[in-house]
Amino acid sequence: MSTFEIKDNFYLDGKPFKIISGGIHYFRVVPEYWRDRLEKLKAMGCNTVETYVCWNLHEPEPGKFNFEGGLDIARFISIADELGLKVIVRPGPFICAEWEFGGLPAWLLREDGVKLRGLYEPYMTHVKNYFRELFKRLAPLQVTKGGPVILFQIENEYGYYGDDKEYLMEMGRVMRECGAEVPFVTSDGPWDDALECGKCDMALPTANFGSHVEAQFKTLAEHTGGGPLMCMEFWVGWFDNWGGEKHSTSNLDANKRDFEDAIRLGHVNIYMFHGGTNFGFTNGANYYDELSPDVTSYDYDAALTEWGDVTPKYEAFREIIKKYADVPEVELTTKIEKGSYGTLECEGRVSLNSVLDDISVPVCAKDAVCMEKLGQNFGYTLYRASFPKGKTIGKLSFSRVNDRAIVFMEGNRFGTYYDRELLKEYDFKREPYVYAEDGDFDVLTENMGRVNFSYKIESQRKGIDGGVLINGHYHSGWKMYPLPLDNVDKIDFDKPYRKGDPAFYKFSFNAYKAMDTFLDLDGFGKGCAFINGFNLGRFWEIGPQKRLYIPAPLIREGNNEIIVFETEGRAARTVSLAAEPDLGPLYLPDGRPE
Q: What is the pLDDT of residue 361?
A: 98
Element (H, E) at 398: strand 395-402
Q: What is the pLDDT of residue 549?
A: 98
Bridge partner list, 5: 11
Question: pLDDT for 304-339, tens place per residue?
Answer: 999 999 999 999 999 999 999 999 999 999 999 999
39 and 123 co-located in one domain:
yes
Residue 362 covered by a domain: no
Residue 503 covered by a domain: yes
| Residues noted as catalytic | 157, 233
Mean pLDDT of 23-28: 99
116 vs 248, 436, 528, CA distance in Å?
31, 48, 30
Q: Residue 123 above 70 pLDDT?
A: yes
Question: pLDDT for 563-589, tens place per residue?
Answer: 999 999 999 999 999 999 999 885 444
Question: pLDDT for 263-306, tens place per residue?
Answer: 999 999 999 999 999 999 999 999 999 999 999 999 999 999 99
Q: What is the pLDDT of residue 121?
A: 97
Residue 337 covered by a domain: no
For residue 33, the 8-state DSSP code is: G
Mean pLDDT of 218-245: 97
The separation between CA 425 and the C-alpha centre of its own chain, rounded to angstroms, equals 33
Q: What is the pLDDT of residue 458?
A: 93
Classify the phi-psi angles of 97: left when phi > 0, otherwise alpha if psi is within -120 to 50, otherwise beta. left
502 and 469 co-located in one domain:
no
| Residues above pLDDT 70, as percent of the chain | 98
Domain tally, the chain: 3
382 and 462 co-located in one domain:
yes
Task: Please state the pTM of the whole predicted model.
Answer: 0.97
Cα distance between residue 287 and residue 271, in whole Å = 22
Q: What is the pLDDT of residue 586?
A: 59
467 and 507 co-located in one domain:
no
Residue 429 covered by a domain: yes
Cα distance between residue 569 and residue 556, in whole Å = 30
Cα distance between residue 93 and residue 261, in whole Å = 31
Mean pLDDT of 93-103: 98
What 3-state DSSP class applies to 276? coil
Q: What is the pLDDT of residue 1?
A: 87
Cα distance between residue 229 and residue 240, in whole Å = 30
Which CATH number characterizes residue 501's domain? Answer: 2.60.120.260
Cα distance between residue 304 and residue 477, in whole Å = 52
Residue 303 covered by a domain: yes
168 and 85 co-located in one domain:
yes
Which CATH number characterizes residue 25's domain? Answer: 3.20.20.80
Question: pLDDT for 464-495, tens place per residue?
Answer: 999 999 999 999 999 999 999 999 999 999 99
Q: Which domain holds residue 374?
A: 367-476
112 and 234 co-located in one domain:
yes
Q: Residue 61 above 90 pLDDT?
A: yes
119 and 149 co-located in one domain:
yes
540 class by beta-carbon count within 10 Å (0-12 exposed, 13-18 middle, 19+ buried): buried
Q: What is the pLDDT of residue 206?
A: 98
Q: What is the pLDDT of residue 209?
A: 98
Q: What is the pLDDT of residue 592?
A: 36
Cα distance between residue 259 and residue 317, in whole Å = 8
271 and 383 co-located in one domain:
no
Looking at 156-296, which runs of residues are DSSP E strands? 184-188, 203-209, 230-235, 267-274, 285-287, 291-293
| Residues above pLDDT 90, as percent of the chain | 97
Residue 357 covered by a domain: no
Question: pLDDT for 440-468, tens place per residue?
Answer: 999 999 999 999 998 899 999 999 999 99
Residue 308 covered by a domain: yes
User: What DSSP string describes 404-451?
Assistant: EEEEEETTEEEEEEEGGGGGSEEE-TTS-EE-SSSEEEEEEEE----B
Mean pLDDT of 92-110: 98
452, 476, 500 - which closes a domain:
476
What 3-state DSSP class applies to 372? helix
For residue 214, the 8-state DSSP code is: H
Residue 110 covered by a domain: yes
End-to-end CA distance of the chain: 52
> pLDDT averaged over the chain?
97
504 and 461 co-located in one domain:
no
Q: Residue 593 above 70 pLDDT?
A: no
94 and 172 co-located in one domain:
yes
Q: What is the pLDDT of residue 591?
A: 39
Q: What is the pLDDT of residue 133?
A: 98
Q: What is the pLDDT of residue 588?
A: 41
Looking at 512-557, which runs of residues are DSSP E strands? 517-520, 526-531, 534-540, 547-550
283 and 404 co-located in one domain:
no
Question: pLDDT for 495-549, tens place per residue?
Answer: 999 999 999 999 999 999 999 999 999 999 999 999 999 999 999 999 999 999 9
The separation between CA 253 and the C-alpha centre of its own chain, rounded to angstroms, equals 29
Mean pLDDT of 127-151: 98
Question: pLDDT for 388-445, tens place per residue?
Answer: 999 999 999 999 999 999 999 999 999 999 999 999 999 998 899 999 999 999 999 9
297 and 175 co-located in one domain:
yes
Q: What is the pLDDT of residue 454?
A: 85
Instruction: Kindly give the pairing relationship between strand 517-520 and strand 547-550.
Output: antiparallel
